[in-house]
Amino acid sequence: MTGTPPCVVAVKRGQTLKRMTPDYHTRTKSGTQMAYVCHDRGENLFLSQKLPLLRDAINATVSETSDRVTVTALYNAVSGVSHTDGSMIKHNWSCTAYPLVDAVAVFSRMQNGYDFALVLTSKPCAVISG
């Protein structure tokens, strides 16, 4: 992704993501700010308001070129175009869209089950405590 480098915040065990403010130029659905929670089968958990940031993070974790994902695949998964919402992408990744406040709560509930829990934004907009 070109432009401003992303802001990556690692949320460690024992820490809590309290809230996120809206990122620049992000998607809304019926006026509600949306965010995406993506995870694999046990190692990585990502939260972002931008699909390109998720694509970059996912592709940085895979070793095989054939396991790389595209923004289109992520969009199709979260919008239900070709998959059901939350289906597996490349048989390894699940990505679901939530309203921003709900996404923070889902991420916080899920984070202790993963080795890496990262918040990906294009500007500092995550508040963590603990």
Judge whether 2 lies within some domain: no
71: tokens are 């923004």
What's the CA dihedral at 41, 10, 14, 104 to 10 degrees? -70
Judge whether 65 lies within some domain: yes
**Owning domain of residue 47:** 7-129
Residue 84 has pLDDT above 50, yes or no: no
Q: How many domains does the chain have?
A: 1
Judge whether 1 lies within some domain: no
Judge whether 103 lies within some domain: yes
Q: Looking at residues 103-119, what average pLDDT do you find?
A: 92
Tally Cβ neighbours within 10 Å of residue 80: 12
Considering the chain, what is the average pLDDT of its residues? 84
Report how far apart, in Å, the C-alpha atoms of 50 and of each of 26, 28, 65, 82, 112 are. 6, 11, 22, 20, 23
Residues 64-78: tens digit of each pLDDT: 988 899 999 999 888
Looking at residue 85, its pLDDT comes to 45
Beta carbons of 89 and 69 less than 8 angstroms apart: yes
Residue 94 has pLDDT above 60, yes or no: yes
